[in-house]
Amino acid sequence: MDQDFQIEVRAGSTPPVIAVSGEIDVATAPQLRECLHGAIARGEATIVLDLLGVTFLDSTALGVLVGALKRCRDLGGELHVVVADPRITKIFEITGLTSVFSIADSLESAGAA
């Protein structure tokens, strides 16, 4: 288990911001899935997912994000992803997900207030 992995749900921002740091892989992705699905189940159709502190991301993490995006869109919302690290951006690019997700390089440009 990645000791640096953390999820922070920032209360009070609109839309809600879920900030993740550390490595998101097969060991930690279930925690992210639970957090995202929990927020969506509470009626949050649009979420800003802050990945600025993420140092590694694999296909299981992407699978969680794709699943959450579908749920958000089913409710008429959106999952905005914030990424700045070129290594993380590259993973979205090579999987073709830059055309699927709304990706921003800062919280401000993702519309988080």
Partner 1 sequence: MTEIADRLESGDRIELKFPARGDLIVLARLVTSAISARAGFDIEELEDLRLAVGELCLLTLQGSDAQHGDLRLELSVRGDAIEVVCTLERAGVASAPGPDGDEVARLSEQILDALVDEHGRESRDGSVRAWLRKRRGGHAE
As measured in angstroms, the least distance from the Cβ of 95 to partner 1 is: 5
Q: What angle do CA 5, 11, 9 make, to 5 degrees?
A: 15
Please identify, using beta-carbon distances, which residue of 29 and 104 lies nearer to partner 1: 29
Judged by beta carbon, residue 1 or residue 113, the one nearer partner 1 is 1
Tally DSSP H helices, then E strands, for the chain: 3, 5
- The closest of 20, 28, 69 to 45, measured between CA atoms, is 69
| Site residues (vs partner 1, CB under 8 A) | 1-2, 23, 25-27, 33, 56, 58-60, 62-64, 66-67, 87, 91, 94-96
Taking the least distance from each CB to partner 1, the nearer of 40 and 112 is 40
